[in-house]
Structure 1
């Protein structure tokens, strides 16, 4: 498949029809605690949930948010909301109420479906717009008992289907607008280059609020395979699930791979694995060696992506041993350019900015024209796709064989355990506590996390425990600083601003990075 050939896209909910149309309606589609749904049952459940949603939330384009762990509801909503003409807004279940409240207010969600425990944490004022709230079990019960069904939609593939919230280097999370075509072609692209098949079983361990996590569902169903969603507490839970479901495809981020390689894998857990996929951070040479040694019969797919363009590159498994640090080349339907400050293509071996062009590029940031204009710009003149492109901010190099290599980021975003973390969001939470006069959040290289969050504050160290408690209350676990460093004064640059570069160098030196 040519990377510059773009087939027709369809409304996203048509994924629920593909396996049945191919005569595989009775094959497994979704493995749940309560039992397994086949593709015919998946199609029927999507139709019922879509019918209930269309009645509950009339109005094309209205936003429906979900804030729940993995289960039937969270797996079906991407397709059911799309069929009902609505826009799905999945909220990471790891987020605390303050972050969830921001997403609800920013998206203007008119319905929130979640687990009762999470819904109970919401406080007066968190729902700033008219927004109905319902528990996930009650929603499924109502959808089942209502008896309303909707058949496949006939919407425009260019219509908005989902808003995925992602952190940047500044400010609160912003909503990336994804169309039906973005998600359909993303599913098709990944299913193609992974070589996914009808008998594949994907273990969905990543949050479904991430583009990478949601694609676990969509690409597997596109290929006619089945998905086993898993919320795990310990790495051994992943191993047990691989054995129980005879998993063929396992996707993870580097910190989870580290934990999994430190866990005992009995033969029955490894036997069915065909492919391992990685994104959310680069694999180290040591980690590649360990994965190849533990799973010699599984193909390893290192991948690179950004929510604004879904996935950009992958490294063919046949090249992993010879080029373990490469990002690879463009995935199908993506055009990847490396440009200089003027937008011209750089020479082989020179560093430039990675620019993603083509039909996987999102529609911008929800109700944020300013930040959209900073990242989404007309494609460079050399692009064969043209249109709008995503300027990633990532610095890369291309070798003479066309393989790409990561060089660094232009912004201060922290990437820890596969999560994109805004330093400003942490800093604002610290300052709002009144326990520090100044605050800087930085990412320090860490063998297990990729980067660990470190917090440098100016204030009275006597308030250290109170500050830690406040952060535990207001920020999700993955944003918690590994260490808090108290300073009597902050280093300043010539412009009188806090010298973040100097602080970064100090912390790197102190921690041997």
Structure 2
């Protein structure tokens, strides 16, 4: 299908923007777009498959803007849902496959999902009380069958600001919150990344990151914008990644620091390592020793360190040519992003003066779903110096800008724990622990870990030392693996601040957090 078959593009930030479900229309119809265990589909074939999946979703008769959640492993259905739901006039809510029933129940209730598509094994773990009354459950197999036949829905005529997805991300307090992303957010994110990574129709991207993350989802969208091919992979061991790079002639690999640590510990045949042309990193900073290992192991691959936040997708990247000379830098703004470093009064800092990172421009999300209070905290009017104006994301992260315009991370103001690329809410862990009878108080901290970036340390004040084992059992049943504490310590008392609240700063200092 030719791009001319779709409605005229719209201009946002000087760039052509189309509904996100039009991405496949850009590719050469004969070139491969999706590869995997189910076989290879060309852009023309995948566009038909997309239309059928969208038609199946539309057949449920849901109102425009209804939320459709997916809780599935990576495969054709997971790869196409970010495009199929918006094509059907619906809003996609991807759920991390690692989450367990309590987190899924929260996302379903908070989003008001009308439909949940999941693997049979995952759906079987849900309790009746986990599923809202209006939410219907369907197996992934049903969606897969629909993609093999049936009537295909034509490309949508969505407006740039129409809501396309809600991605749930943990905050420093409370349960995960849904970030609202428009068609323009997703489209321009794909445009931006494809541009600065220099992706081409000859590139093949190995998608190892979960599609429930904006970083993981963009693996698909940016590659398709460039006309390349994606290969989704749910890997069991890091060695599976090496095998896939070899067998599928992978050129592009996105990862987080813990994955790079694991991959650099493996034996990479020289001819396999040489297939990779670019490596991208986000979800935590790369250490200098790790950068050195990656450059030695993959001498023909460009390395792109990046910084982002779900509320604005991606903010900065460091060009490969500067990695060796500025290994600690976050880089500078990606295309379609304006990054300012400001003082508390909103004025722009001087060179090397620490300030808050503020992200302005069309990549800024529409706020948190049904949460005006938290939206008002993070999404505020842009500083006067912004060329865009409008709403901006005030990150809460302290950075500094050098004379060359390169940014450097200084610190994070909130209490988030960042482990293996996951943003973990301490409150969620603490609530699960405190649900055990006899646990008076619980505090979760992030402590330095060479492999994970940060590991979870859980501090308990309880009536009996024996409760430690009971808490461990409950956490394993209620929380995903990446949220499990590395260590649980029992304390007789917690320090208090003048207001009588737990002094988390004192606890963090005492325990090396």
C-alpha distance 487-200 of structure 1, shift in aligned 2 (>3 A) = same
Residue number in structure 1 paired with 2:19: 11
Residue number in structure 1 paired with 2:329: 326
RMSD: 1.1
C-alpha distance 344-129 of structure 1, shift in aligned 2 (>3 A) = farther
Deviation of residue 441 (structure 1)?
Answer: 0.3
- Select which of 468, 472, 477 maps to 1:468: 472
Question: SS of the residue aligned with 1:437?
Answer: strand
Give yes or no for contact 2:52–2:146 (8 Å, CA) kept in 1. Answer: no
Question: SS of the residue aligned with 1:303?
Answer: strand
Residue number in structure 1 paired with 2:314: 311
Question: SS of the residue aligned with 2:59?
Answer: helix
List runs of 5+ in structure 1 lacking aligned partners: none
Give yes or no for contact 1:435–1:467 (8 Å, CA) kept in 2. Answer: no
Question: SS of the residue aligned with 1:125?
Answer: helix
Residue number in structure 1 paired with 2:365: 362
Question: SS of the residue aligned with 2:16?
Answer: coil
Give yes or no for contact 1:50–1:81 (8 Å, CA) kept in 2. Answer: yes
Structure-1 separation of matches of 2:404 and 2:143: 53
Give yes or no for contact 2:93–2:166 (8 Å, CA) kept in 1. Answer: yes
Give yes or no for contact 2:274–2:299 (8 Å, CA) kept in 1. Answer: no
Deviation of residue 143 (structure 1)?
Answer: 4.5
- Select which of 389, 392, 395 maps to 1:389: 392
Residue number in structure 2 paired with 1:425: 428
Structure-1 separation of matches of 2:360 and 2:316: 12
Structure-1 separation of matches of 2:133 and 2:269: 51
| Structure 1 segments of 4+ aligned residues over 4 angstroms from their partners | none
Say yes or no: does 1:264 pair with 2:267: yes
Structure-2 separation of matches of 1:452 and 1:6: 43
Question: SS of the residue aligned with 2:104?
Answer: helix
Deviation of residue 435 (structure 1)?
Answer: 3.9
Residue number in structure 2 paired with 1:404: 407
Q: Normalising by the residue count of structure 1, what TM-score does the alignment of the two structures yield?
A: 0.96
Say yes or no: does 1:488 pair with 2:513: no
Residue number in structure 2 paired with 1:26: 30
Structure-2 separation of matches of 1:138 and 1:173: 28
Give yes or no for contact 2:50–2:147 (8 Å, CA) kept in 1. Answer: no
Deviation of residue 434 (structure 1)?
Answer: 1.9
Structure-2 separation of matches of 1:45 and 1:102: 31
Residue number in structure 1 paired with 2:77: 73
Matches for 1:282-297 after TM superposition, within 5 Å: 282-297=285-300
Matches for 1:142-221 after TM superposition, within 5 Å: 142-145=146-149, 147-221=150-224
Residue number in structure 2 paired with 1:251: 254
Residue number in structure 1 paired with 2:142: 138
Give yes or no for contact 1:277–1:301 (8 Å, CA) kept in 2. Answer: yes
Residue number in structure 2 paired with 1:339: 342
1:275-311 Cα deviation digits (max 9, x unpaired): 0000000000110111111111100000000000000
- Select which of 93, 97, 104 maps to 1:93: 97
Matches for 1:434-453 after TM superposition, within 5 Å: 434-453=437-456
Larger mean CA deviation between 493-502 and 407-416 belongs to 493-502
Give yes or no for contact 2:277–2:301 (8 Å, CA) kept in 1. Answer: yes
Give yes or no for contact 1:6–1:333 (8 Å, CA) kept in 2. Answer: no
List runs of 5+ in structure 2 lacking aligned partners: 1-11
Structure-1 separation of matches of 2:44 and 2:147: 17
Structure-2 separation of matches of 1:144 and 1:125: 33
Deviation of residue 149 (structure 1)?
Answer: 1.2
1:224-279 Cα deviation digits (max 9, x unpaired): 00000001111101010100111100000001100000011112321211000000
